[in-house]
Structure 1
Amino acid sequence: YLKYFKLFGIEKYLMRFSTHDPSKLGQKFVDEPELWKQTEVMTRNVLKNSGINYIEVPNEAAFYGPKIDVQAWSAIGREFSIATNQVDFAQPRRFDLRYKDRDNVDKIPLCIHRAPLGTHERFIGFLIEHYAGNFPLWLAPEQLRILPIGDDAKVLDYSMLILNELRAHQVRAELDDSTDKINGKIQRAEHMKVHTMFVIGKRDMDADAVSVRIHGKGNLGAKPRGEAIAEILQSIKERRA
């Protein structure tokens, strides 16, 4: 989990260990008191031995076994359940699952339900709120937009050349070839929170260069085309924040 959290910039999180309520066996929880005791002790020991900070919450287990939910907080402080590990001792019995142990004796396994990033929709919702739409380059839906200045056919051809080169490397790039003024194109890209912009005019084309802009940071100046593209590819490859 820590690998994923670091990758997505999640700094505040907590493990929530959910146990059963013995008074609700056979109602809310599977009526297997010994298995509940065994699996809860096992799960608790894993948390303690790993040195993980956690809270214990009674009466919140799954009906088939104890679970560990990972609670994370978005940048605006809202709490999400973004991951889970659940011990299931009920389903293997229902499906009559068995294995041979080292002594060749039939045993019924425990099943582990594991979802490191939870449901896809919930996690995407968390990321949208966490980043407020300002995704890092590697994660952005539109990673780069090319903004040609004016309607010079040669500048447009040069812009298309760069677009095709980026797309050949699987970069999610677009070209704004509208007739709007360059300030309007920049404003639109900023409003849509496009991470990186290549502004291209005749001077850039003649120098085989691009002028680089980063959303929220402004103009970073002109760079040789090959260097600028290489930096984009390296940033995506390394999944930089």
Structure 2
Amino acid sequence: MYDHRKLGRELGLFDTDPLIGAGLPYWLPDGAIVRHSLEEYIRTVERRAGYQHVYSPVLGKRELYEISGHWAHYDEDMYPPMDVGGEQMVLRPSLCPHHAVMYRSRSHSYRELPLRMAELGAMYRSELSGVLGGLTRVRCIQLNDAHIFCTLDQVADEAAAALTLIGSAYAAMGITGARYRLSLPGPGGKYVAAPEMWQRASKILSEVLDRSGVPYEAVPGEAAFYGPKIDIQVSDHAGRESTLSTVQVDFHQPERFDLHYIGADGAKHRPVMVHRSIIGSVERAVAHLIEHHGGAFPAWLAPVQIAVLPVSEAQESAAAELRDRCLNSDLRVEVVTADAGSLAARVRQTRLVPYQFIIGAAEVVNGEVAIRLRDGRRLPAQSVDDALTRVRARIQAHDITLWTD
């Protein structure tokens, strides 16, 4: 496995600068493409699964986090408040308080539930300098977050559906979780004191895991301060584990924010809040993808999906036309002309690109391309239309296989 900090910089995906600050990486063009592709994928998946996307501010009043419980239980990881116009404002450490307030801003009927609210939003953690590194431990996090407001009898199905989405996303990214963990409270004052709430939420999640059939380990001391969670762990190049995706059950914040819905009986009832993140933070997801794939990303994530290689200068006009056709088909393409070296050298130069379209004199005459796949397979020459159709189909399907006969 590769070290994403080294390889990510070599591939021109991201970098850092002391003037910006530790734990605050910036994304270079190729890295921005990977990030954007991930974000578009998860938004599409969520929309098809019935989620509604929102935006919320990265700041909130201190009082917001006092109500949510973050100020009492999570303040060591938060930035100090800023005095603004006589009020204390805080960079948010989490999106859930904002979403709770957004839910509360409108009345809701039981007929609307489950209400699934999703956001790709920034949050901030006051990490110590000694633990910062690359994309895995940063101070500004872009989180694929969502909160499902539902009735008690809907919780298990919503948590199970989130696990299914996580499994599909991992398949599309070509990764697997190292292990599933049921994260439970441990000793100490970190957690909300509500034993009955913890027991009920933990029972729901353990039953969801049992029903899913995945092996898991219960680990005390790893829960969120407001509730237990399912954590999907991944390993880095040094074998260190970290959490990528989560599913959490929360009875605490609905009570703190006095959330309710009108039931079939016409009375007010308290919803349950299911927190879930399919790909976790974009930063950590990309770090894991770099290390797992060594920069040879699945085609739908690759910064360049097709490298067009004219055999000689005589085919460069045809290569330019092919480039334009690729762009019009929403494919990311680069022409590597003959002045960049021999054909063999250019094949090596573009070895991480999923598809190499080679154009020689015969291909120009016949309106064809010779295709070389990143895995070393060489395909017979075929029409440009057929080649683009096949490639585009694989990419749109988010399939990690490059070609099927």
Q: TM bucket by the smaller chain?
A: 0.7 to 0.9
Whole-angstrom distance in 2 between the partners of 1:185 and 1:19: 53
TM-score, length of structure 1 as denominator length:
0.87
User: Do the aligned residues in 2 keep the contact of 1:74 with 1:126 (CA within 8 Å)?
Assistant: yes
Q: In structure 2, which of residues 345, 350, 355 is the aligned counterpart of residue 189 of structure 1?
A: 350
What SS is found at the alignment partner of 1:84?
A: strand
Whole-angstrom distance in 2 between the partners of 1:161 and 1:78: 47
Q: In structure 2, what is the equivalent of residue 5 of structure 1? A: 170
Q: In structure 1, what is the equivalent of residue 398 of structure 2? A: 239
Q: Deviations over 1:52-101 (max 9, x none)?
A: 32110112111011111012357996644221011222222222212233
Whole-angstrom distance in 2 between the partners of 1:116 and 1:38: 23
Q: In structure 1, which of residues 14, 39, 57 is the aligned counterpart of residue 219 of structure 2?
A: 57
Q: Are 2:316 and 1:156 equivalent residues in the alignment?
A: yes
Q: Deviations over 1:187-221 (max 9, x none)?
A: 2112xx11111111222211211121122405434
Percent sequence identity over matched residues? 32
Q: In structure 2, what is the equivalent of residue 127 of structure 1? A: 289
Which has the larger Rg? 1
RMSD: 2.2
Q: In structure 1, what is the equivalent of residue 269 of structure 2? A: 107
- Structure 1 residues 149, 50: CA separation in 2 closer, same or farther (over 3 Å shift)? closer
- Structure 1 residues 50, 239: CA separation in 2 closer, same or farther (over 3 Å shift)? closer
| Structure 1: tracts of 5 or more residues without a match | none
Whole-angstrom distance in 2 between the partners of 1:19 and 1:112: 16
Q: In structure 1, what is the equivalent of residue 332 of structure 2? A: 172
What SS is found at the alignment partner of 1:164?
A: helix
What SS is found at the alignment partner of 1:69?
A: strand
Q: In structure 1, what is the equivalent of residue 205 of structure 2? A: 43
User: Do the aligned residues in 1 keep the contact of 2:312 with 2:338 (CA within 8 Å)?
Assistant: no
**Structure 2 counterparts to residues 63-74 of structure 1, below 5 A:** 63-73=225-235
Q: Are 2:308 and 1:146 equivalent residues in the alignment?
A: yes
User: Do the aligned residues in 2 keep the contact of 1:87 with 1:110 (CA within 8 Å)?
Assistant: yes
Whole-angstrom distance in 2 between the partners of 1:105 and 1:206: 75
Whole-angstrom distance in 1 between the partners of 2:199 and 2:373: 55
TM-score, length of structure 2 as denominator length:
0.53
Whole-angstrom distance in 2 between the partners of 1:235 and 1:86: 33
Whole-angstrom distance in 2 between the partners of 1:57 and 1:18: 5
Whole-angstrom distance in 1 between the partners of 2:214 and 2:353: 37
Once the two structures are TM-superposed, the CA of residue 168 in structure 1 deviates from its matched residue by: 0.6
Report the AA paired with residue 60 of structure 1. Answer: E
- Structure 1 residues 209, 184: CA separation in 2 closer, same or farther (over 3 Å shift)? same
Q: How many residues align?
A: 234
User: Do the aligned residues in 2 keep the contact of 1:142 with 1:173 (CA within 8 Å)?
Assistant: yes
Whole-angstrom distance in 1 between the partners of 2:245 and 2:370: 41
Q: Deviations over 1:128-164 (max 9, x none)?
A: 1111112222221110011112222xx2221111111
User: Do the aligned residues in 1 keep the contact of 2:229 with 2:249 (CA within 8 Å)?
Assistant: yes
Whole-angstrom distance in 2 between the partners of 1:188 and 1:120: 28
Whole-angstrom distance in 1 between the partners of 2:288 and 2:255: 36
- Structure 1 residues 175, 53: CA separation in 2 closer, same or farther (over 3 Å shift)? same
